[in-house]
Amino acid sequence: MFVPSLGFSLRENSVTSTVCCKRNQISVQPSQLRLGKFLVMNRRERTFTAIKPDAVHRGLVGEIISIFERKGYKLVGLKLVLPDRKLAENHYSELRDKPFFPDLVDFISSGPVVAMCWEGKDVVRTARKLLGATNPLESEPGTIRGRYGIDIGRNVVHSSDAVTTAEREIQLWFTEHELVDWDPAVARWVYE
Ligand SMILES: Nc1ncnc2c1ncn2[C@@H]1O[C@H](COP(=O)(O)OP(=O)(O)OP(=O)(O)O)[C@@H](O)[C@H]1O
């Protein structure tokens, strides 16, 4: 079995498992193999991140994508969307009762929005750290909102706040065919 993320093939026999590298073969115990599989699965976490209309208008798209790329995350979905009100309302449905909800829906559905799906270890929590606090006044200067935002209603980016939210939002914004599974050549330089 070839495991692209690991960069080598795994072949199992009844006693031990054999890892076949390019030049040599190393025998490993099944427990080590399980650990390897776990680590690969661990890198499969996905999040939904959106560059909001204010940032698109301000020409910050390339900059924001670069921050995620340079961190080491893998882009598996990307598209420019003009969200209709239904999509915007659905996306922020948990905030339906908030007084700012109508303005928020107006703003997001004014588009364009860059919808993205990023993949990697702990990507949901790390993406939120890269974004910074919701209110730019409270976000650290090194974060995206800390660097580029001033008002809470123009806070540049969104990213899912939990793994379950990410699953819901990815399904809401992307079809299965729009997500691309691929193996970056640099994976072994990003993960130990
Ligand atoms: N008090 C507020 N007044 C105006 N707008 C607000 C307020 N609180 C939140 N918002 C807007 O609603 C969005 C969603 O709020 P939420 O509480 O889900 O924060 P968040 O998860 O950090 O933001 P987002 O969902 O956009 O990533 C915020 O990004 C912000 O633009």
What distance in angstroms lies between residue 52's CA and the mean position of ligand 1's atoms?
Answer: 12
Strand, helix or coil for residue 107:
helix
Q: Spell out the residues 6+ positions from residue 30 whose beta carbon is closer than 8 angstroms to its own.
A: 12, 16, 17
pLDDT digits (tens, 9 = 90+) for 147-160: 999 999 999 999 99
Q: Write out the catalytic residue numbers.
A: 158
Worst-scoring range by mean pLDDT, 23-32, 49-58, 175-184?
Answer: 23-32
> pLDDT category, 131, cuts 50, 70, 90?
very high
153 lines ligand 1 (CB under 6 A): yes
Decide the pairing of beta strands 17-20 and 8-12. antiparallel
Point out which residues pair with 116 in neighbouring strands. 49, 78
Residue 42 assigned to a binding site = no
pTM (predicted TM-score): 0.83
pLDDT at 41: 73
Mutate to test the pocket of ligand 1, among 152, 157, 168 (most ligand atoms within 8 A of CB): 152
Distance separating alpha carbons of residues 110 and 71, to the nearest angstrom: 30
The alpha carbon of 155 and the centre of ligand 1 are apart by a number of angstroms equal to 8
168 known member of a binding site: no
ipTM score of complex: 0.95
Decide if pLDDT at 34 tops 90: no
| Digit-coded pLDDT (tens) for 37-62 | 556 678 899 999 999 999 999 999 99
**Structural domains of the chain in order of their starting residue, each with its CATH number:** 5-39 (no CATH), 43-178 (3.30.70.141)
Whole-number Å distance between alpha carbons of 161 and 163: 7
